[in-house]
Structure 1
Amino acid sequence: MFFNLISLSVSNLLALSLLVIAALWRRYSAKRASFIAYEQRDDIKGIPPTFPYVFPLLGSVPISYLRSPKDFVLNPKNFFQSAHPVLVKILNQEFYVVRGPENVKALFKGSSACTSIPFVKFALGYAFGLPAKALSLYDRDDSGSGPVPNPGSTVEARNRIDYRGYQSITKFLEGKQLLPFWNRFADDITQQLYRLHGRIGDDWEYRDDLMKLVSDEVTVSTLNALCGPYLLRLNPHFLQDFWDFDRNLQTYLQGIPWFLAPRAYAARKRVLNAVKIWQQHARDHYNDSATGADGDDPFWGSSFFRERHEMFLEMDGFDHAAIASQDFGAIWAVRNSIATVSWAAYEIFRDPELLACVRAEVDTCATRIADGRIRFDIDQLLRLPVLQAVHAETLRLRMHFYIIKMPDRVDMKIRDWIIPRRKVIVTPTTVAHMDSKAWNTGFNNEHPVNDFWVGRFLKYPSENDNSSPTFSTKEYEGSWIPYGGGPRQCPGRNFAKRQILLTLALMVSLFDCEILDGEKRVQEDLSLKGFGGGVSHPINQVPIHIKRRR
């Protein structure tokens, strides 16, 4: 009798569960049909609908994202591929997804009224370890991103952390400070690669990884130009710790506690300690007489850091540890351009035809100076079509990032759709860069979007015309978005392009590289740990034979 009751109750429970699931599925099917009709129309206006899901409390939980993030965002059945803007609900979180060239252009155009404070605070707190007292300043900053504070804001001018922090960066990377920073990098990377040229012989030598070889040289030069010589001099292991931190970025951003990832958090502690040691040395040794004509000095490096140090000390909740977290965030930001150089060098040296084209181009703007070294006319270098196409195609193929916006005080209009204020908007670069409908893939689709092909950005006058091609990204506006867009697009984009093109010009001019196992393509780290933080890392090494060119 007892077992019969148990059996009956289990049977009833199972029947009830099946009934609920059937009802939920029927509800989902109806919403799915309505959503498909929405996707096929071009006359929809107003607030975008919600992407259909089966279980009310779970929403569109992306289980398969955990296994393969890139495959998930490119799956035509998921919300990242919606033709029109769509609201996505995952557990207790909501965000709008925007994709498609016209929608993305409208998003960037209307983003002047957006705030980045929640996302900056999230990154600084989770990834860069900014202490709570300093983080609280972001919560209180309602003054807006413009030079004039928002009406009703009571934040003191000295505590406008979002506006003042961003202005310091744009002044450095888009203002008068860019030229001395660029000149220091150009001199340093030339010296670095000539020293490497002197260490490598005239016969083939084996190196176990081309991409690390390039990355190390460019990282050292960038850090020297940015921070002066003492960051690396006082912290000999900073280079390794920098990239260990970078490899673990998603560990921090996902909020994994330190006791589950002790090595990752140890790497973060080491890089932050290194910045503190360097900055303490600068405080102890700097004086006005050390400042050069351009405002920089050997202790702080760029005047950018010295001025930010003074700026942050004026703000409530900031001490030397908090400044180190902020400044390491600024230092870490160079990682995308460095990773791009490595991928671009790999693509050039693995393709003899492309290598020959790039060498022919860079030879036209190279001159020999008194010491016998090559100097490039950077203005000419920036106009070389094939070299620019290498830069653009590398970023298209390897940049995996989520551009995030949030309308602040008013709703945002994206064409005929309305995104309510204080709602998160997400645009994945991967979706834009892998849209086969938006990109040139050749006459017979012989160059699919998953392949590296500089021809996407090159235009030739005619089949019978032997004149040089022209480079353009204009027709890919809204589709080529590695630097974001709108008023707060990446302020380092101009330096990054110069850095990438000059380094590649030096590499192809000074070295011959033979990639071993050339038929085996290098794979990107597109795992949950490696995807979404910017330009991807390679999984495997790229062994080479290398010799110097004369």
Structure 2
Amino acid sequence: MSKFELSPDGLIQTIRSSSSELVWPLLGATLVFCCIATRIISGIQSRVGDQPGQSQSIRTVPYWFPWLGHSISFMWNHVKFTEKARDYMNAPVFAIYMGGTRHNTIVSPSMIKSVMVSRVTTSVPRLKRAFKAFGDGVGVLGNLNTVDYQVFHHKLPNLLMQEPFITEVSTVTTQLLKRDVPNFVTFCRSVVDQTLWERGSDVDVVDDNCDKLACEVNLFALVRGFIGNITTTALMGQAILEAFPNLLDDVWTLDNRFPLMMMGIPRWTPIPGVSAAYASRERLLNSLATYHQAFLQWDDGVDPGVKFRDLEDVSEPLKQRIRTSKSLGLSPRSSASGHLSLLWAMNVNSSNIAFWHLVHLYADPTLLKEIREEISPYVKAHRPSREETGFPFQEPPRISIDLEGLLKFCLLLKASFYETLRLDTADMSFRELTSDLTITESNKDATISDLATPRTYQVRKGESVILHHGVLQNDSQYFSNPGQFDPLRFIVTDPETGGKKADMHTVHPFGGGMSGCKGRAFAERQLLAFTAATISMWDIEPMDGNRFEIPRHRQSSGAYLPEKDIRVRIVARV
């Protein structure tokens, strides 16, 4: 029997060995059990009944993972996820669970509107997280006192949507477009001789014995760089891009992973692109702090150095922003995160939308022809002849732009722009309630849902709300054939006057709220002028000579990115 006996040490060793072998199976079984239990409990809670005629409870979509909840599905494709959640819950308001927080999600146009105009909502918590992602790690900009906060985050941004800024920036932008659209591609083979926006688009000059030279380029990179240069110059002046020619490249790198940075994902996380985004943010903050300090010196009459010798062309809202930062005692580095938020917001959506708008127009030759005819009285591209100039060589092309005429009379151009916003943006607005709020859908929305009585929901103080505009923009109940590009859906007739106009309906591409996006008026004017000038000056076709294939969407922080760039051939029309 002795040979079967174990010493105390041997018994302990056997128990330890057996325990170590069981740790991972036990851990796995525990996790599976937690996930199943979470799904069962959340599923039961989601089926809680409502009493007709009373305020309905906001039910939570069932989920599998504790704490994470719907985070992974939402991040992967928030539009598809929200559409499926709406259909599963069969409700215009439902809750999703992410990162330990419940978010009430609204997908009814009338309810979204009522929340957007409500005075009991705030975006302050969201704004603080955004500034932290932009580099305000210690919360200097997010924790200003009430008066200073109102000045810095509301009064100053409101300048972007008021006169005289709108008129002034429109004039500046038009002049920049008149100067630069003829140089959209310069046909320079050497990167050194190319413009900033050409250098990242892999330009290849083609001379195939035709009358005109052609350029083969990556269209998205070209358009994004061009719009970025125009926007940044109009807002911050020419000197900043001359001093920091890679500034916009860092903005694009930051934007690629900005949603993850908003969630607080640290730099060391092994996710492709996160570390590069943090590095780009650091370079951007250093550049903008240097720019801020140079402006203060220039404003005080001190020579800021060769790079920033002329800062007169900085827009007035940005001048006021820097002066206010100084009066509030903010250092250049502390102010830099605020400048970065503005630089990012004014560039990333506009550049993406400009690309999609061009692609949709060039993909439809009939529509392109109609819009060219519509804008022809207001945008004219021409090349002066040798007889006109008296020079023995050919002059570069020129373009004239009547922006007010475009805005007032070119309904099809505007409607195609709004249709691009509907199809190629999927924005959301985030709010937190400062008081209880009761929201009721309109009779029209109830009728669309085949209900006799509109539904009413009670949202409690302190709860988070997501207004998902992107889901509505692809809802067949509100837009017939939502996957089809049809600008005519945005041209409406005034029942009183019989006049026609382009109306955006329920599309909110630049954010929402009582004041809306601060730069939306500037963005619309700029992008309409850019599109009109580009299609007047240039012919663009795919490399294979066939019709354009619209690229698939890739998720971003605002307007969609293309899944991959498209290679095109560009030839001057004049």
TM category, shorter:
0.7 to 0.9
Given that 1:24 and 1:55 are in contact with CA atoms closer than 8 Å, whether structure 2 keeps it comes out as yes
Residue among 133, 136, 140 paired with 1:134: 140
Taking the aligned partners of 1:243 and 1:88, their CA distance within structure 2 comes to 30
- Give CA-to-partner distance per residue, 1:22-69, whole Å, 9 cap, x none: 98777656544445xx5xx873416x3331536695484354345444
Q: What's the offset of the Cα at 1:498?
A: 0.5
SS in structure 2 at match of 1:137: coil
Taking the aligned partners of 1:546 and 1:137, their CA distance within structure 2 comes to 50
SS in structure 1 at match of 2:55: coil
Structure 2 residue 118 is matched with structure 1 residue 116: no
Taking the aligned partners of 1:170 and 1:229, their CA distance within structure 2 comes to 23
SS in structure 2 at match of 1:534: coil
Letter in 1 for 2:477: K
Given that 1:230 and 1:278 are in contact with CA atoms closer than 8 Å, whether structure 2 keeps it comes out as no
Taking the aligned partners of 2:214 and 2:34, their CA distance within structure 1 comes to 68
Q: What's the offset of the Cα at 1:204?
A: 5.0
**1:503 match:** 530
Residue among 306, 323, 345 paired with 1:333: 345
Given that 1:212 and 1:342 are in contact with CA atoms closer than 8 Å, whether structure 2 keeps it comes out as no
**1:456 match:** 489
Bigger RCO (CA 8 Å, 6+ sep): 1
Task: Flag the 1:326–1:418 CA change in 2: closer, same or farther, 3 A.
Answer: same
**2:224 match:** 215
How many residue pairs get matched?
Answer: 493
Given that 1:413 and 1:419 are in contact with CA atoms closer than 8 Å, whether structure 2 keeps it comes out as yes
Taking the aligned partners of 1:367 and 1:521, their CA distance within structure 2 comes to 28
- Give CA-to-partner distance per residue, 1:262-294, whole Å, 9 cap, x none: 22211111222221222232223335799xxxx
- Give CA-to-partner distance per residue, 1:397-450, whole Å, 9 cap, x none: 111222111222x22232232222222110122211111111122xxxxxxx23
Taking the aligned partners of 1:27 and 1:239, their CA distance within structure 2 comes to 48
Q: Which runs of 5+ in 1 are unaligned?
A: 144-156, 291-296, 442-448, 462-467
Given that 1:400 and 1:536 are in contact with CA atoms closer than 8 Å, whether structure 2 keeps it comes out as yes
Task: Flag the 1:327–1:222 CA change in 2: closer, same or farther, 3 A.
Answer: same
Taking the aligned partners of 1:180 and 1:217, their CA distance within structure 2 comes to 20
SS in structure 1 at match of 2:111: helix
**1:544 match:** 568
**2:106 match:** 98
Task: Flag the 1:170–1:14 CA change in 2: closer, same or farther, 3 A.
Answer: closer
Counting aligned pairs with the same residue, the percent is 20
**2:448 match:** none
Task: Flag the 1:44–1:434 CA change in 2: closer, same or farther, 3 A.
Answer: farther
Q: What's the offset of the Cα at 1:333?
A: 1.1
Task: Flag the 1:454–1:519 CA change in 2: closer, same or farther, 3 A.
Answer: same
Letter in 1 for 2:355: S
Taking the aligned partners of 2:247 and 2:185, their CA distance within structure 1 comes to 24
SS in structure 2 at match of 1:258: coil
**1:147 match:** none
Letter in 1 for 2:73: S
Taking the aligned partners of 2:77 and 2:346, their CA distance within structure 1 comes to 26
Q: What's the offset of the Cα at 1:132?
A: 0.6
Taking the aligned partners of 1:187 and 1:73, their CA distance within structure 2 comes to 43
Taking the aligned partners of 1:376 and 1:14, their CA distance within structure 2 comes to 66
**1:418 match:** 458
**1:304 match:** 317
Given that 1:389 and 1:454 are in contact with CA atoms closer than 8 Å, whether structure 2 keeps it comes out as yes
Structure 2 residue 249 is matched with structure 1 residue 240: yes
Taking the aligned partners of 2:571 and 2:354, their CA distance within structure 1 comes to 19
Taking the aligned partners of 2:72 and 2:121, their CA distance within structure 1 comes to 30
- Give CA-to-partner distance per residue, 1:208-228, whole Å, 9 cap, x none: 212222222221111111111
**1:166 match:** 154
State the superposition RMSD in angstroms: 3.8
SS in structure 2 at match of 1:535: coil
Residue among 258, 273, 276 paired with 2:267: 258
SS in structure 2 at match of 1:405: strand
Residue among 172, 177, 184 paired with 1:189: 177
Taking the aligned partners of 1:121 and 1:326, their CA distance within structure 2 comes to 11
Task: Flag the 1:60–1:43 CA change in 2: closer, same or farther, 3 A.
Answer: farther
> Which residues in structure 2 correspond to 1:396-407 (within 5 Å)?
396-407=422-433
Taking the aligned partners of 1:469 and 1:547, their CA distance within structure 2 comes to 38
Task: Flag the 1:301–1:413 CA change in 2: closer, same or farther, 3 A.
Answer: same
Structure 2 residue 479 is matched with structure 1 residue 472: no
Taking the aligned partners of 1:90 and 1:102, their CA distance within structure 2 comes to 25
> Which residues in structure 2 correspond to 1:419-438 (within 5 Å)?
419-438=459-478
Q: What's the offset of the Cα at 1:458?
A: 3.1
Given that 1:229 and 1:299 are in contact with CA atoms closer than 8 Å, whether structure 2 keeps it comes out as no
Residue among 314, 325, 331 paired with 2:327: 314
SS in structure 1 at match of 2:104: strand
Given that 1:349 and 1:513 are in contact with CA atoms closer than 8 Å, whether structure 2 keeps it comes out as yes
Taking the aligned partners of 1:29 and 1:227, their CA distance within structure 2 comes to 52
SS in structure 2 at match of 1:484: coil
**1:45 match:** 55
TM-score (norm 2): 0.76
Q: Which shows bigger deviation, 267-276 or 511-520?
A: 511-520
Structure 2 residue 73 is matched with structure 1 residue 64: yes
Given that 2:357 and 2:420 are in contact with CA atoms closer than 8 Å, whether structure 1 keeps it comes out as yes
Letter in 2 for 1:229: Q
Taking the aligned partners of 1:232 and 1:496, their CA distance within structure 2 comes to 20
Letter in 2 for 1:376: I
Residue among 212, 215, 231 paired with 1:203: 212
Q: Which runs of 5+ in 2 are unaligned?
A: 1-10, 189-206, 304-309, 385-396, 441-455
TM-score (norm 1): 0.79
Decide which structure has the larger Cα Rg and report it. 2
Letter in 2 for 1:366: V
Task: Flag the 1:493–1:67 CA change in 2: closer, same or farther, 3 A.
Answer: closer
Letter in 1 for 2:126: F
Q: What's the offset of the Cα at 1:483?
A: 3.0
Task: Flag the 1:15–1:218 CA change in 2: closer, same or farther, 3 A.
Answer: closer
**2:239 match:** 230
**1:390 match:** 416
**2:115 match:** 107
Taking the aligned partners of 1:109 and 1:307, their CA distance within structure 2 comes to 28
SS in structure 2 at match of 1:50: coil
Taking the aligned partners of 1:53 and 1:286, their CA distance within structure 2 comes to 57
Task: Flag the 1:66–1:246 CA change in 2: closer, same or farther, 3 A.
Answer: closer
